[in-house]
Structure 1
Amino acid sequence: MRIRRTRHLLALTALTALALTACENGTGTRDEGASALPASSVTTPPAKPAADGSAGASENTTGSKGSSGTGTSGTSGAKTPDAKAPGASDAATRVLCNGSNTKVTAQSLSRPLNHMLLTVTNTGSRTCDLTYYPVLRFDEMQWVPQAAEETHPQAVTTLAPGESGYAGVLLSAADGSGDGGQTAEKLTVAFQGMTPNSSGGASATPALPAGGVYYDSSLTVTYWQQDADDALSW
């Protein structure tokens, strides 16, 4: 009888220990034979909407973003840089024409009578503006020749690299009415800035014809022109 009671107590003790081990959360004995829930019965939370509000956008489960799942982050709606509007102005990239980025020549003409033609060629890599009119100085003259206002162009003369602009110079009165006539051996051409009578940069000293040029108080210049004929038509 004692042997049976001992075995019975041992079995009861073992069952009690097993029950306490299985009931860690205090809700009762857990069925050790119960299997885990099948994967199909697990509810997956809905995907979060994309930041831009588009439907169906989600993060790829492979750890990369993008609808193709190939590991790239590009999307079909990627933005491209805005193209320049047609006819956009290049004013921001232009510079002033002056003696540092041009070649200046002075040519005496037989027609029109007593005239000289100034030619300025853009030798730089950027488009430049010829503003107002050239400021001329023959030798050490102490006065500035005035410009013929009727030659004022409708727009600033602009030279792309390699292009030329022009100005006409009336050296002396054809009827001899000018005063203080003399022959000059040297010519300095100064350029104006964006406001009248301001400095536009380096001057130029084009060579004069052999023997110099004769001028008097009638000395007058034109505004810079895009075409040589316009510079000599007054």
Structure 2
Amino acid sequence: MRNLHFRRAARTSVLGTAALIAALSLTACQSDSPAPAAYDAEAPAPQKPADGASAAPAADTANGQETAGDTSTSGSGSESAEGSGSATAKQQRTSASLPTCTGENTKLTITGVKRPVNHMLLTVTNTGSKACNAFYYPVLRFGEAQSVPPVVEDSKPQAVVTVAPGQSAYAGVMTSSADGSGTGGYSAQDLSVGFLDAESESAGDMVNVPLSKDVYVDSTLTVTYWQTEMDDALMY
């Protein structure tokens, strides 16, 4: 009986010791773990997207392709190009609707120049209230000439010369050859100038342009197209 009591007491002691060791081990593990972060009651709660929309950037599904956050401005560029084209077309229509420069809305003068030699400068000034188009080149007739001088084709401008009110356009006139190679020369006391329209037809009546002195002309007589710049008119 005594041995049985001893064995029970020993088993109880062992179990108590094991329980004590387990408790101590648990306490040690808890002390090694980091403490939980403090809860911040002042922090705002996460905001839910309005109307249930996703917080991710909207996807561009144009042309069947998804491109998140696509900020392409290709559409704007197309609109700009179309606007530029429309402006150019409008300018062309406006130019085409302008009247033709004639003796009715302009004033003509002709003067001699030192360089190039045997050259004169014909100037047309818009005296009207609207811009006018100086088409092609002036038609010249010195004295009693039966034909008009040819035009210098190399002087043809890229566009029709438009003359604003109060502004001028120019044409160069080579009256005779500098080396004396021209033939049929004569002295002219007067000059008549005519205008051409968009169809290269005569526009209005010939205009008499006073000469300050007699002008010698021969078979090399030529004229340039109308130019916007004086220097361009005298380079041929």
* Structure number with higher helix proportion: 2
Q: Tell me the equivalent position of 2:132.
A: 128
Alignment of 1:221-232 (within 5 A): 221-232=223-234
Distance 1:92 1:179 in 2: 41
Alignment of 1:87-166 (within 5 A): 88-89=90-91, 90-91=94-95, 93-166=97-170
Tell me the SS of whatever aligns to 1:166.
Answer: strand
Per-residue CA deviations over 1:40-78 (Å, capped at 9, x if unaligned) read xxxxxxxxxxxxxxxxxxxxxxxxxxxxxxxxxxxxxxx
Distance 2:101 2:153 in 1: 21
Does the C-alpha gap of structure 1 residues 144 and 92 become closer, same or farther in structure 2, counting only changes over 3 Å?
closer
Deviation at 1:138, TM superposition (A): 0.8
Does the C-alpha gap of structure 1 residues 146 and 92 become closer, same or farther in structure 2, counting only changes over 3 Å?
closer
Q: Tell me the equivalent position of 1:218.
A: 220
Stretch moving more, 198-207 or 157-166: 198-207
Tell me the SS of whatever aligns to 2:220.
Answer: coil
Alignment of 1:1-234 (within 5 A): 86=87, 88-89=90-91, 90-91=94-95, 93-196=97-200, 198-210=201-213, 212-234=214-236
Give the AA of the match of 1:178: G
Deviation at 1:203, TM superposition (A): 2.4
Per-residue CA deviations over 1:70-127 (Å, capped at 9, x if unaligned) read xxxxxxxxxxxxxxx6453223541000111001000011211000000000000111
Tell me the SS of whatever aligns to 1:133.
Answer: strand
Distance 2:207 2:148 in 1: 16
Q: TM-score, normalised by structure 2?
A: 0.60
Distance 1:93 1:179 in 2: 43
Alignment: residue pair count:
148
* Structure number with higher strand proportion: 2
Deviation at 1:202, TM superposition (A): 2.8
Deviation at 1:205, TM superposition (A): 1.3
Distance 1:110 1:207 in 2: 19
Distance 1:110 1:122 in 2: 26
- Rg larger for: 2
Stretch moving more, 88-97 or 101-110: 88-97
Tell me the SS of whatever aligns to 1:230.
Answer: helix
Distance 2:221 2:196 in 1: 19
Conserved? CA contact 1:151–1:222, under 8 Å:
yes
Runs ≥4 residues deviating over 3 A: none
Distance 1:86 1:175 in 2: 50
Conserved? CA contact 1:139–1:184, under 8 Å:
yes
Tell me the SS of whatever aligns to 1:91.
Answer: helix
Distance 2:231 2:106 in 1: 20
Tell me the SS of whatever aligns to 2:206.
Answer: coil
| Superposition RMSD in Å | 1.3
Q: TM-score, normalised by structure 1?
A: 0.61
Conserved? CA contact 1:136–1:145, under 8 Å:
yes
Deviation at 1:140, TM superposition (A): 1.1
Tell me the SS of whatever aligns to 2:154.
Answer: helix
Tell me the SS of whatever aligns to 1:205.
Answer: strand
Q: Unpaired segments of 5 or more residues in structure 2?
A: 1-85
Deviation at 1:218, TM superposition (A): 0.4
Tell me the SS of whatever aligns to 1:194.
Answer: coil
